[in-house]
Structure 1
Amino acid sequence: MGNERRLFALLICLLLGGGLTAAVLGATRAADAARSADAATARSGTTHSNTTHSGPTRSGPVDGDFVDLRDVPPGPADPPPTGPGGSAGTVRVDCGRDEEGHYNEDNLVVSPGLRAGAHHTHAYVGNLSTDAMSTDDTLAAAPTSCRGGDRSTYYWPVLRLPDRPATRPRENAAGHGNAGAILPEASVSVEFSGNPVSQVVPMPRFLRAMTGDPVAATAGDEADVRARWGCSGSPDRSTTRYPRCPTGERLTRTLVFPSCWNGLDTASFDHRSHLSFPGAGGICPQGTFPVPRLRISLAYDVPPGAAIALDSFPEQRHSPRTDHAMFVDVMTDAAMAQVVACLNGGRHC
């Protein structure tokens, strides 16, 4: 009996000792994780909580993100003039300006199947059902805000007035430093154009596309920065910074999509490889084919003296260089054929 008691006591000591060791290790790992999180916070300027900042000073944008547009020189024509073999037509699709208030924090193109995968809020025109869980079938069956029945989805990050309280539905949904009243678009233009040196071929149905770089502020280069900001009174001037516009002019955003398709894929692992931008003269890279060039133009009535901030990932600090947009082509093959015929025929439809 004495030996059994001694063995039992030894076993209890071993168990207690193991539990104590596990507790110490657990506490150490938790402390290490907290220190790592604190270090990440210090690097990114964000907080652990879901509390959002009330203004632009703590999380951006900064003074260097703004420019007086009168200090920006006029730029070259975009696209270049159409040559004799090009497709000079244009097609405008009237999809409204999101009067329906279609907002969410999803990104079907980049993060399909992941709710709130964008970590910031997108505004939409076109397909009224688009969210992270959309499929080709659900998109094809959904209602649309576009006249003529185009069920394509067009979307971009919202622009906010960070010093004004969020009071409407979804204005408090994004978190991650994206706070304040959403500034609604005063106008939205969806336009397809041709190629200056060649005829275009149809986009495949359910083609996914994106333009711009949502991580441009930390990317180390601006190779994928595509969005341009401007003022309504100076359409020949544009910048990658927030423009300070003269009184009475609207602030504008222009988002042009890549228009050279690899002829095979409707999507790619990096969301870019299947589509590329033409060269300076409009010529598509070898192995790609020109498709209709999508341009989304947005305009805003910014209250005098109001602060503005583009929704972004927290570490991007609302940099205007991170502006971007996404598109899913849900036109029927017949509708896309009409677009191509108009562009190649040099008409304005």
Structure 2
Amino acid sequence: MGRNTRKRRTPLATKVIAGAAALAIGGGGLVWANFYASAHEKNGGHNVTKSRQSQIATINCPDVGLELSDVPERAREGVAKELALLDKQITDAYTRLADTRRAQAGDSNFVANAILGPLKSKRTATLDRISINIKRVGGQAPDDLDRLAECQGVPADQTGNGGGGQDGGQDGGQDGGQDGGQDGGQDGGQDGGQDGGDNGNGAAGPFAEDFINIKDVQPNSRDLQNGLAANGDTGSTGSFTTRCGVNENNLFNSDNIIVAPGVDNGAHHTHDYVGNQGNTAFASDEDLANADTTCQNQNDKSTYYWPVLRLQDGTQEFDANDLGGGAEGNVGKILKAEQAEIKFVGNKAGDVVAMPKFIRIITGDAKAFTNGLANANTSFSCTGFEDRQVTDKYVICPEGSQVVRTSNFQSCWDGQNIDSANHRDHVAFVREDGSCPDGFQAIPQLQVRLVYDVPAPTIENGQIKNPYAVDGFPEQLHKPITDHNDFINVMDDDLMNQVVQCINSGRDCE
């Protein structure tokens, strides 16, 4: 199924029996793992709890990418490669953390001296190179960039308090999943392979508390300001629908051309692609403009992509041993959307202006579980219940109903830039009344609606059976709040002008 040119690596779930490791794009994030003083400790709950408190369960590194909001365009590719190196350093540190459990049990200073210390040294050197990249082209790097070099080892009993997005989720995810995955699956997990509740991914989630019956979701209760529909009964009321299929060509890879250009496996999870067929981390704008497209309108060569949705049923997919796939905790059957509805709509406050060609927009945050909700977006629902949208839960749909993923993109543009250093600042979410922040102007809002035929998971004794989840970084525990969606506009100018005319004149066009 599909093609993927990523290098192979021993799958995470088999290499680290009861752990999960990853990194976040941008050189930061939480590396999550489960540890015990001894793989053969059999002395009951008291000792298990004691060892959990004394063992390092996570490595928490500052997210460098979020700190670099002012990087000159000529330095961005070099900086992106250094950020990717920071990510690899975290992965390597995690691997050492996972491979030295016995040494850690015998030496309380082992993690600090043998893992965190060397990691800080490597990060310091990389941060220095980031600063050099920026200054070389006349930019100004933060004077205190080296303050981001030090990472923290977080004990297992403190993993609920480590990040901005963890208050409700991590307590539930770690307590429900870690207690269930660690306590219930310690012997089976460490001594006998993946047993208990890890769903084959090294206990990296999702967990029972990540799911909700759609009938238990209150209508119109989604409370995030992000991702509001920009259109309404006033202003520019038209729409333009582009039909680009559902990835019938099976184009998958774990690159991220927006965040990590020129970096192999920059996403660390697998993407579905529709539209442009030239998507790799190494594609230039010219390459995208000259590529084929799956869109019926051949003048739309835009790239639309999102993390795949998987059913964690034990299926060995084509990427079961690949980076971005099973090697990084993303396991199970890839579920392609039955429908992929891609629509551009107007603005309830007034007319929209054309998007510039090659503008990049990311909506949602693949690291929202640890970063917090500032950029969280997208939502889950069920057909027949789409007045009920939920961002922080996967939904369990009744028989005959299908799972729906919805993304309403940022629809305010700064009028100048097609991208920004942190890939956020050049666009903004529309306000509830349709207005844009000062200095921004309304552009067509991209709305993506994906419909999936997903077997309904079941919950038994607090454990989720055959769950589905979006691909992501394992340290994010496959939380639904981390869902996201990506877009690069590669429409030709005539088509974009047609989109704007349809929307501003109140027509519905295709």
Please, what TM-score do these two structures have when normalized by structure 1? 0.84
Task: Report deviation, 1:40.
Answer: 6.9
Q: Distance in 1 between matches of 2:111 and 2:429?
A: 47
2:286 counterpart (106, 121, 137) = 137
Amino acid at match of 1:236: D
Counterpart residue type for residue 395 of structure 2 = P
1:109 to 237, 242, 258: 258
1:82 lines up with 2:238 in the alignment: no
Relative CO higher for 1 or 2, CA cutoff 8 Å, sep ≥ 6? 1
Matched, 1:151 2:151: no
Query: 1:203 and 1:172 mapped to 2: Cα distance?
Result: 39
Matched residues, number? 315
CA deviations 1:259-309 (Å, max 9, x no partner) are: 100000000011010000111111111100100100111111012433112
Counterpart for residue 222 of structure 1: 373
Shift in Å at residue 164 of structure 1?
2.5
| Larger Rg belongs to | 1
User: How far apart, CA to CA, are the structure 2 residues paired with 1:213 and 1:233?
Assistant: 27
Residue 79 (structure 1) shift: 4.2
AA aligned opposite 1:343 = I
Q: Alpha-carbon deviation of 1:41? A: 9.7
1:255 maps to 2:441:
no
Superposition pairs of residues 158-307 of structure 1, within 5 angstroms: 158-167=308-317, 169-173=318-322, 174=324, 175-219=327-371, 221-240=372-391, 241-305=393-457, 306-307=466-467
Shift of residue 172 of structure 1?
Answer: 4.0
Opposite residue 209 of structure 2, the aligned amino acid is: G
User: 1:55, CA displacement in angstroms?
Assistant: 3.1
Aligned partners of 1:313 and 1:197: how far apart in 2? 38
- Find the aligned partners of 2:501 and 2:356 in 1 and give their Cα distance: 15
Amino acid at match of 1:270: N
Aligned to 2:113: 32
1:23-54: CA deviation from partner (whole Å, max 9, x where unpaired): xxxxx999933477894796699xxxxx9964
Bigger mean CA deviation after superposition, 143-152 or 174-183 = 174-183
Give how far 1:166 is off. Answer: 1.8
Letter matched to residue 118 of structure 1: A
Give the match for residue 97 of structure 1: 246
Which residue is 1:334 aligned to? 494
Contact residue 245 and residue 295 of structure 2 kept, 8 A: yes
SS in 2 for 1:58: coil
Please state whether the residue corresponding to 1:59 is helix, strand or coil. coil
1:322 maps to what in 2? 482
Q: 1:255 deviation in Å?
A: 0.9
Instruction: Decide whether the 8 Å contact of 1:94 with 1:190 is kept in 2.
Output: yes
RMSD: 2.6
Unaligned runs of 5+ in 2: 1-108, 120-151, 163-177, 179-192, 222-227, 458-465
Shift in alpha-carbon separation, 1:172–1:231, aligned structure 2, 3 A: farther
Give the letter aligned to residue 313 of structure 2: D
SS in 2 for 1:298: strand
Contact 1:80–1:281 (8 Å) recurs in 2: no
Which residue matches 1:19? none
